[in-house]
Amino acid sequence: MASLPEPLPDWLSGLNPPQLAAATALDGPVLVLAGAGTGKTRALTARLAQILATRRAWPSEILSVTFTNKAAAEMRHRLAAMIGPSATEGRGPSFVEAMPWLGTFHSIAAKMLRRHAELVGLRSNYTILDTDDVLRLLKRIIVDAGLDEKRWPSRQLSGLIDRWKNRGQTPDKVPAGESFAFADGRGAELYGRYQAELKTLNAADFGDLLLHMLVIFEQHRDVLADWQRRFKQVLVDEYQDTNAAQYRWLQLLAAPSEGGQGNICCVGDDDQSIYSWRGAEIANILRFERDFPGARTIRLEQNYRSTPHILAAASGVIAHNKGRLGKQLWTELAQGERVQIISIWDGPEEARLVGERIERLLAEGADATDIAILVRASYQTREFEDRFIAIGLPYRIIGGFRFYERAEIRDALAYLRIVAQPDDALAFERIVNTPKRGLGDKSIGKVQAHARRTGTTLPGAAQALVETDELPAAARRALGDLLAAIRRWRSQMDALDQAALAQMILEESGYIAMLEADRSAEAAGRLDNLAELVRAMEGFTDLQAFLEHVALVMENDRGDHADKVVLMTLHAAKGLEFNHVFLPGWEEGLFPSQRALDEGGANSLEEERRLAYVGITRARRRATILHAANRRVYGQWTSAIPSRFIAEIPAAHSDSETTLAGGASLWRAALAERDPFAHLDRSSGRGPGWDRAARAAPKGPRLIEARASAVTVGGAARTDLAIGARVFHSKFGAGTVQGQDGNKLEIAFDHAGVKMVLDSFVQPA
Ligand code: ATP
Ligand code: MG
């Protein structure tokens, strides 16, 4: 290590010795391999500061990859705070903001591709398609190939193409056997058609961003050499979740064997690899030392984030995985609270209870932004959203396109896309008759047929047809007007800023008038959304930049983050931390997910466990895990058993409580005979608050509903114990059946009160 100045500059002070090494070993490859919360991201940020401050590279000569756009913004922010004006010759924060190659793999590759698009047959204003567009396009290709889309769904093909792209495989490189995964061996052929079609549309999907760059690098070594010369330093966060294409891209840019400069620092944690379903390969960690000879591996063991109880709980769970490198973590923080494990009756009660707990935390002075609810499946947020809206608790959802996914927003974006990019056939298709302008399916079909016949794009074919009399007069006029309007809007692109342009388009296209005429309940909200869209556009340099942002942005961050509780998936929570973390839905089939269980392999279960580890380690002060006894899945009530991950949390580091009323905890005791995890019900200490919650939960109607759907887990419902039947239970004596939920009965015992019991424990009296 080069000798460091004493005292250490701000951005290095406070780092522990291995962190300091990671931040200052600027020559040659470095791999930081360490557990959650050990300051990997912090060390990486310090390294960036060190590079800039020691003038090892200019901002434009540093490639830094983060996992989300949000993380990139965060890193910029931290960096600006770390290095003051003195380190940047008075340039201060703007110096940091100028870092053009700090972002996600996708956003960086998209930007590079704009410069070289023509090398793969695209133009620099190519469109990035979203999933919806991709599926529509694939469907057309499947049908055109004479296949039955029902038998060979576009979604399946899209998944395959994704997989190939994640591995860096162009259609000619698809392994012969894998082509058979679709349409009796036509997979690669359809993939090839799709790529050709994208080219004529001047469009790319997400996977293409990297794939095209790989092709360009491999085929145009001069282009690669330029980039290799440029990037003096390469930094990668969340390295454990890189896929093969991303790994190859890094290798080409930085490995000395390929001509790169070799100054690369990757930080990651094998226990947090949670994206194998998107092609991530943990093996990239092991490969690093081979492909980057002389790599220095640094391990960090001190955790600065979580209390010992939280850390021990997470470590206890992850220790059940076999395929891991293994590591020790320690912390100097005070013991703090044990991890709370709460049993509740069902989903709505879970949401109610979490809402209550959050309100209590807020009343105690907690900051809303320091509270997160992390779910396994994105649909789980709905129950919380409903509840939070009901009690007026401000929340926001991170991850996913929610806002940009709404129909009216997608329509507006389609208008903007066709203006920005005249050949964007998918956008054209979307808006050609929205609002309705008298263009029937027949007319549109004619335009499509013409496009196919003449090999032109859809807008091009439309233009050609308005000059003939193939279309009925009214349709021709409508189409002609639309095309003229698009040309007019396009001519305004330079004169107007993009927000003003959008406003004009929405008005002149009749889109706003259409919504104003709409008397439905949603129309007003849609108009608000459009106004919000125009507002959102204001901050961008131009329309192109905005459209790129929409295509790339994975987070629904609309600026107003203050004082809102965060709801997000565990997958999206990577790298983040919160004082208080709620982890609902820890039930077999939900978490670990049913898919992981069905696949049955150790790998998918281990990935779920890593997800549990990621979840627990997001918490700084308090982690609360919840599991419900009943869960409505696909409209049917199902009895759930606690996640096996709950059983893996060491007892010394967790506390259990239940809000299940009366007999419910005894129901759990009864279940213990079958349920290997029931020992978790170590303490049933119900605080005063819980009685209220329990009373508030109306149980009767649910049971009736449950009976109607008669869903059972672990046993069929008995038919000999109808409601009203007199029964005898070996422990509670005689009683009357009041309700039935699968193989569980709600029984009013003559002397023991109302309880839930398993039907196998009772006899008809
Ligand atoms: P993850 O694996 O979850 O991505 P990480 O290893 O990247 O975690 P960071 O997010 O960098 O960890 O750090 C976790 C917390 O510890 C942050 O709040 C960070 O500011 C703090 N931290 C890191 N290093 C130090 C240090 N040397 N001294 C004090 N606090 C630190
Ligand atoms: Mg991190």
Q: What is the pLDDT of residues 635-686, one digit of tens each?
A: 567 788 999 999 999 999 999 988 775 444 444 444 444 333 333 333 333 2
CA 180 to ligand 2 center in whole angstroms? 40
Instruction: Give yes or no: residues 75 and 135 share one domain.
Output: no
Ligand closest to 304 (CA) is 1
Instruction: Give yes or no: residues 472 and 586 share one domain.
Output: no
* Per-residue pLDDT band at 206 (split at 50, 70, 90): very high
HSE, side-chain direction, 13 A CA sphere, residue 742: 16
Domain boundary among 283, 300, 317: 300
Ligand 1 pocket list (CB less than 6 A): 14-16, 19, 36-42, 269, 272, 304-305, 575, 577
Q: Is residue 37 part of a domain?
A: yes
CA 35 to ligand 2 center in whole angstroms? 9
pLDDT of residue 631: 82
Instruction: Give yes or no: residues 343 and 378 share one domain.
Output: yes
Instruction: Give yes or no: residues 580 and 688 share one domain.
Output: yes
Helices (H), 650-733: 663-671, 688-696, 700-709
Instruction: Give yes or no: residues 21 and 99 share one domain.
Output: yes
Tokens of 744: 């569980």
pLDDT of residue 541: 83
Residue 747 neighbours by CB distance under 10 Å = 29
CA distances from residue 132 to 128, 204, 401, 716 in whole angstroms, order as listed: 12, 13, 12, 41
Q: Is residue 333 part of a domain?
A: no
- Whether residue 577 contacts residue 305, with contact meaning beta carbons closer than 8 Å, is answered with yes
Of the candidates 229, 247, 230, the residue with the CA atom closest to the CA atom of residue 238: 247
Ligand closest to 302 (CA) is 1
Instruction: Give yes or no: residues 411 and 393 share one domain.
Output: no
392-434: pLDDT as tens digits: 888 888 764 456 667 888 899 999 999 999 988 889 999 999 9
Instruction: Give yes or no: residues 496 and 599 share one domain.
Output: no
CA 69 to ligand 1 center in whole angstroms? 19
Q: Is residue 316 part of a domain?
A: no
Ligand closest to 576 (CA) is 1
Q: Is residue 513 part of a domain?
A: yes
Distance between CA 208 and CA 120 in Å, rounded? 10
pLDDT of residue 390: 74
pLDDT of residue 743: 63
The pTM of this model reads 0.73
Q: Is residue 324 part of a domain?
A: no
CATH number of the domain residue 422 falls in = 1.10.486.10
Domain boundary among 201, 235, 260: 201
Mean pLDDT of all residues belonging to the chain: 84
Instruction: Give yes or no: residues 467 and 575 share one domain.
Output: no
Q: Is residue 741 part of a domain?
A: yes
Rounded (5°) CA angle 628-632-634: 145
Q: What residue numbers bound the domain in which 148 lies?
A: 127-201
Q: Phi, psi at residue 746, to the nearest 5°?
A: -100, 120
Instruction: Give yes or no: residues 687 and 605 share one domain.
Output: yes
CATH number of the domain residue 680 falls in = 3.40.50.300
Q: Which atom of ligand 1 is nearest to the CA of 19?
A: 27
pLDDT of residue 216: 98
Domain boundary among 490, 519, 547: 547
Catalytic amino acids? 40-41, 237-238, 272, 618
Distance between CA 524 and CA 15 in Å, rounded? 53
Q: Is residue 2 part of a domain?
A: no
**Mean pLDDT to the nearest integer, 79-102:** 68
pLDDT of residue 693: 29
Ligand 1 binding pocket mutation candidate from 10, 12, 13, 42 (most atoms within 8 A of CB) = 42
| Total domain count, the chain | 5
Instruction: Give yes or no: residues 57 and 94 share one domain.
Output: yes
Residue 671 neighbours by CB distance under 10 Å = 22
- Collapsing DSSP to helix, strand or coil, 648 comes out as coil
CA 610 to ligand 2 center in whole angstroms? 15
Q: Is residue 683 part of a domain?
A: yes
Instruction: Give yes or no: residues 563 and 647 share one domain.
Output: yes
Instruction: Give yes or no: residues 610 and 702 share one domain.
Output: yes
* 755 Rama sector, left if φ>0, alpha if ψ -120 to 50, beta otherwise: beta
